Amino acid sequence: MPDPLVRAEHLSYAYPERAELGLCDVSLELVEGSFTVLAGASGSGKSTLLRALCGLVPHFHGGEVSGELYVGGMSVREHGPGELAAVCGTVFQEPETQVVMGGVRAELSLPVEHRGQSAAAVARSVEEVALALGVAHLLERRTDTLSGGELQRVAIAAALVHRPALLLLDEPTSQLDPVAGDELVWLLRRLNEEWGTAVVIAEHRIERCLPAADRVVALDAGAVACDAAPSEFLAWAAADGGTLATPVARLFSLAGLGPLPVSVKAARDRLRDAGLAPTCSAILVPAPERAAPRRFGRRPRTRPALELRGVWHEIQDGPQVLRGLDLRIEPGERVALMGRNGAGKSTLLRHVKGLVQPTRGRVDTAGRVALLLQNPGDYLIHECVGEETGARGLAAAGLSDRASASPRDLSGGQRQRLALEVAVGGGPYAAVCLDEPTRGMDRASRTALAARIADLAEAGAAVVMATHDTEFAAEFADRVVLMGQGTVIADATPSEVLAGGWHFSTDVARTLAGAGGALTAEAGARAITRELVS
Amino acid sequence: MTGGLVPVYRSRSSPLHAARAGATAGLCASLALVCGLYEHPLVLAAVVAAVVGAGLAAGVGREIARAARLAVPLALLVTVINPLVYAEGQTLLVRGGTLLGHRFDITLEALGAGALAGLRVGAFTMVFGLASACVDPDELLRLFRRVSYRSALTASLATRLVPVLARDAMRMGDAARCRAEPPGRLAVTRAAVSGALDRAVDVAAALEVRGYSAGGRPERDRRPWSRHDLRAGAGAVLVLVAAVAGRIAGAGTVTVYPALEVGLGPADLGLAACVLIAAALPFAGRAARLGVARA
């Protein structure tokens, strides 16, 4: 039997000046051509394990290691990232900081040139990887002109250009919109199936990767909590409280159906086999065309929290980002603003806050507006957490005990909560706007964020959230505004907009084909149970 | 960063872009050498004209205009500051007062010297603008990597990080405006700087996993010289030879103090002509305008 590609034996690791272990007694083997998903909450050790596999731990980060880790037959203790790079390619979360050179061709050439290959060999490698990953049309582009999705593809191409046997990816879709994220996962699946590249991917939204995976390793506090095939992992996750389970698995688990499906397709097949799908379809929600933009014939007498009337945002020598947009939001409303990249969501929020002025039209607000932009780290400018906001804000963020910590030491979810409190400090506000607040968040952080948003809405603020996260929108919003081409193309309840959608839909709604307007696992399970009872 | 003052390289179908980076950079470097060796206004004006002409012919007129927006204020600044600092010269224009024991008289010669120095700075900035717009930095750095691998890669990283950090700073500025109590510029700047360090660490990690620490010198570029390479290279050599020969022959002599004297002889005219011809050389002939290899 050939040696495994990766072999960890009782691997433990602690970052410098940290008491707790980043990895705790990890033992596992990965074979060539496997597709492994690393699951776990924020801070569970997924990134640390990936950094150990590529040699950054301990060679780049320092710290203390015990146990053994072999990658491609090389001991990570003895071989650094430069040598391990011959065996594994690594892609991190943030596309911008992974690209080193100014041009795409130079970026792809660099890893091969590092290995001292001839100019002809470099050119061939670049051409091959560019064609294989669908970035050939980008070869002559400058890297600073690429979108996030394109940059991430280029980063993957650069990681693969020397044909490593193992590809490591640390939440590669967290900074991408859902379309780009799905494309990336399909690409990884193709790489794995057609070229036999072993893939290890850490992800929060594992439902994207699970259908392609043949194994899931769940980590908890640095230790392996579950190491099993996807279906077995889902059974374990459901029994473990469901925080790591996919929405469809939770749906089946709550409805008492089994075994738990790893994909929407498998879920629909099982419902069909159980004779549930057709009758569920009988109680379909209103068709999407009913979810038309709201028109305001006679204006309500109450003063809205914010109102946009005929707002245009036209860039000089550029596109029209907003085209005569009308929108009225009442106090206490929770609105999810959805639409593809470039639809004008972020620009709309910037207009509401007053960061930009409309070319034409009016933006009226009933009072002050708070805005949380996409990158929470931009709000954290002090040396310690306690300086960022007052005691009340710290308590609301659940960080009272971390007042003396550096903001850089907080997890992604904690940073997001703190940034929100910084933005909404000194309230009350007529409107609170959030731009993609759930990017890269685990389920626990999203639940905490949803609770805080509910508090703000109950206090009378209109909460407007631009998001691609349909699952979160289904849980948090009481109204969904779908934007396209700089204007509102649908404006209705979440069920009306999301249950019948194709792209803008939740996994549960896709599984149930929009039955009962169910968007969440809980609502879907109730619909299925009703069908079972009747 | 596209709206910044420093032009950014974009691949275009022009002879200057099609020529290898070493040849185009050589032409720009020789023009910069002229700025360094001469302060004769005719020669410097020829350099500016050569840059503008080459830039327009290469389709980077907008980038050159951007460089000019940086060059003109710099030139004016030098022109204004010089007479305030130097009071030499025979022709007194303004009699100033005395401050801290220093007499502030403005002379025609000091003003002229300032204008010449300003023209020199401006011409140099324009040449830099042309190089930024027409020389592929990755290809150039690849050349330097053969000489000093790590220094070149560090320079490459620094170049790459500039637009990233500029975007970071812009975002942090917006976030500061969104805070309930907007912080001072110092706090935002400090956070941006420490954020830059984080970015640098991330990029360093990315470099490590690309095999940087095990890296060696890249192979020598063995591409045959194209006609664009030859013409740009010939232009560079022409300017270099003319500049050195002119210096030896005493061309471009300017005396500023005690009286402003700007000579104009055949050598000065010849040098200026060489600069213009060299800048036109890459675009000369029908063959240069057709079949440009790089789009």
Q: What average pLDDT score do residues A431-446 get?
A: 88
Interface probe with B: pick from A48, A144, A355, A356, most Cβ of B within 10 Å: A144
What's the CA gap between B40 and A483, in Å, rounded? 61
What's the CA gap between B135 and B23, in Å, rounded? 9
Output the pLDDT for position B26. 95
Q: Are residues B123 and B230 in the same domain?
A: yes
Q: Distance (Å) from the C-alpha of residue A47 to the closest C-alpha of chain B?
A: 13
% of chain A residues with pLDDT over 90: 51
What lies within 8 Å, CB to CB, of B225 at 6+ separation is B20, B233
The CA-to-CA distance between both ends of chain B, in Å, stands at 22
B120's tokens: 């020199």
Preceding peptide of B258 cis, ω within 30°: yes
3-state secondary structure B103-121: EEEEEHHHHHHHHHHHHHH
What's the CA gap between A375 and A296, in Å, rounded? 35
Interface probe with B: pick from A105, A381, A424, A433, most Cβ of B within 10 Å: A381
Q: Are residues B46 and B174 in the same domain?
A: no
Output the pLDDT for position A308. 95
**Interchain CB distance below 8 Å, A423 and B178:** yes
Q: Are residues B197 and B238 in the same domain?
A: no
Residue A52 to residues A26, A32, A35, A36, Cα–Cα distance (Å): 11, 18, 18, 16
Q: Name the more confident of B101 and B22.
A: B22
Q: Distance (Å) from the C-alpha of residue B198 to the closest C-alpha of chain A?
A: 9
Q: What average pLDDT score do residues A302-326 get?
A: 89
Of B11, B190, B202, the CB nearest to A97: B202
Interface probe with A: pick from B2, B8, B138, most Cβ of A within 10 Å: B138
Output the pLDDT for position B164. 73
Q: Distance (Å) from the C-alpha of residue B186 to the closest C-alpha of chain A?
A: 10
- Does A289 have pLDDT greater than 50? no
- Does B290 have pLDDT greater than 60? no
What's the CA gap between A417 and A476, in Å, rounded? 16
Of A116, A371, A382, the CB nearest to B178: A371
Residue A441 Ramachandran class (φ > 0 left, ψ -120 to 50 alpha, else beta):
beta
Output the pLDDT for position B258. 84
User: Which CATH fold topology does A288-524 show?
Assistant: Rossmann fold (3.40.50)
Q: What angle do CA A199, A203, A465 make, to 5 degrees?
A: 145
Q: Chain A contacts of B178, Cβ < 8 Å?
A: 353, 355, 370-373, 379, 423
Q: Looking at the domain assignment, is residue B81 inside a domain?
A: yes
Contact, B41 vs B252, CB < 8 A? no
Output the pLDDT for position A298. 53
**Interchain CB distance below 8 Å, A381 and B136:** no
| Tens digit of each residue's pLDDT (9 = 90 or more) over B61-75 | 999 999 999 999 999
- Does A267 have pLDDT greater than 80? yes
Look at the block and give the residue holding tokens 């071989």: A79
CA of A90: which chain B residue's CA is closest? Answer: B209
Architecture of domain A6-246: 3-Layer(aba) Sandwich (3.40)
Q: What average pLDDT score do residues B261-279 get?
A: 91
Neighbours of B214 (CB within 10 A): 18
Confidence of residue B265 (pLDDT cuts 50, 70, 90): confident
Neighbours of A73 (CB within 10 A): 11
Task: Provide ipTM, 2 decimals.
Answer: 0.80
Q: Are residues B181 and B54 in the same domain?
A: no
- Does A461 have pLDDT greater than 90? yes
Q: What average pLDDT score do residues A290-295 get?
A: 48
- Does B210 have pLDDT greater than 90? no
- Domain spans of chain A, in order of start: 6-246, 288-524
Output the pLDDT for position A293. 52
| Tens digit of each residue's pLDDT (9 = 90 or more) over B182-204 | 888 888 888 888 888 888 888 88
Q: Looking at the domain assignment, is residue B184 inside a domain?
A: yes
What's the CA gap between A309 and B221, in Å, rounded? 60
Q: Looking at the domain assignment, is residue B221 inside a domain?
A: no
**Interchain CB distance below 8 Å, A101 and B191:** no
Output the pLDDT for position A296. 47
Q: Which of A238-247, A262-271, B181-190 has the lowest mean pLDDT?
A: B181-190
Contact, A73 vs A26, CB < 8 A? no
Q: Are residues B114 and B239 in the same domain?
A: yes
What's the CA gap between B276 and B49, in Å, rounded? 7
CA of A423: which chain B residue's CA is closest? Answer: B179
- Does A287 have pLDDT greater than 50? no
Interface probe with B: pick from A74, A97, A138, A435, most Cβ of B within 10 Å: A97
What's the CA gap between A439 and A416, in Å, rounded? 10
Q: Chain A contacts of B174, Cβ < 8 Å?
A: 355, 373, 378
What's the CA gap between A349 and A373, in Å, rounded? 9
Contact, A447 vs A42, CB < 8 A? no
Of B153, B164, B187, the CB nearest to A96: B164
Output the pLDDT for position A441. 84
Q: Are residues B136 and B231 in the same domain?
A: yes
- Does B151 have pLDDT greater than 80? no
- Does A283 have pLDDT greater than 70? no
Of A60, A85, A103, the CB nearest to B138: A103
- Does B246 have pLDDT greater than 70? yes
Q: Is A518 helix (H, G, I), strand (E, B) or coil?
A: coil
What total number of domains does chain B contain?
Answer: 2
What's the CA gap between A173 and A179, in Å, rounded? 10
Q: Mean pLDDT in chain B? A: 85
Q: Chain B contacts of A375, Cβ < 8 Å?
A: 171, 175
Topology alike, domains A6-246 and A288-524: yes
A115's tokens: 């290995």
CA B124 from centroid of its chain's CA atoms: 6
Confidence of residue B215 (pLDDT cuts 50, 70, 90): low
Q: What average pLDDT score do residues B137-148 get?
A: 80
Q: Mean pLDDT in chain A? A: 87
Q: Are residues B237 and B209 in the same domain?
A: no
Output the pLDDT for position A336. 96
Interface probe with A: pick from B9, B136, B165, B209, most Cβ of A within 10 Å: B209
Q: Is A86 helix (H, G, I), strand (E, B) or coil?
A: coil
Q: Looking at the domain assignment, is residue B2 inside a domain?
A: no
Neighbours of A310 (CB within 10 A): 13
Calculate Rg over the CA atoms of chain A.
24
Q: Which of A146-160, A468-482, A487-501 has the lowest mean pLDDT?
A: A146-160
Neighbours of A242 (CB within 10 A): 16
Output the pLDDT for position A248. 93
Q: Are residues B180 and B209 in the same domain?
A: yes
Q: Looking at the domain assignment, is residue B8 inside a domain?
A: no
Q: Are residues B94 and B70 in the same domain?
A: yes
Neighbours of B197 (CB within 10 A): 9
Q: Which domain holds residue B172?
A: 147-213
Pairing of strands A431-435, A462-466: parallel
Q: Name the more confident of A311 and A377.
A: A311
Give which of A140, A102, A108, A141 is closest to A124, Cα–Cα: A108
pTM of the model: 0.80
Last residue of a domain, one of B165, B180, B213: B213
Confidence of residue A285 (pLDDT cuts 50, 70, 90): very low
**Interchain CB distance below 8 Å, B157 and A111:** no
Q: Are residues B30 and B111 in the same domain?
A: yes
What's the CA gap between A139 and A146, in Å, rounded? 11
Confidence of residue A299 (pLDDT cuts 50, 70, 90): low
Give which of A326, A423, A325, A332 is closest to A369, Cα–Cα: A423
Q: Is A198 helix (H, G, I), strand (E, B) or coil?
A: strand
Q: Looking at the domain assignment, is residue B295 inside a domain?
A: no
| Tens digit of each residue's pLDDT (9 = 90 or more) over A386-434 | 989 889 889 988 888 889 988 888 877 788 889 999 999 877 899 999 9
**Interchain CB distance below 8 Å, A85 and B209:** yes
Q: Looking at the domain assignment, is residue B109 inside a domain?
A: yes
Of A56, A142, A378, the CB nearest to B175: A378
**Interchain CB distance below 8 Å, B294 and A122:** no
Q: Looking at the domain assignment, is residue B218 inside a domain?
A: no
B134 residue type, one letter: C
Q: Number of A:B CB contacts under 8 A?
A: 164
Contact, A148 vs A175, CB < 8 A? yes
Q: Are residues B29 and B173 in the same domain?
A: no
- Does B256 have pLDDT greater than 90? no
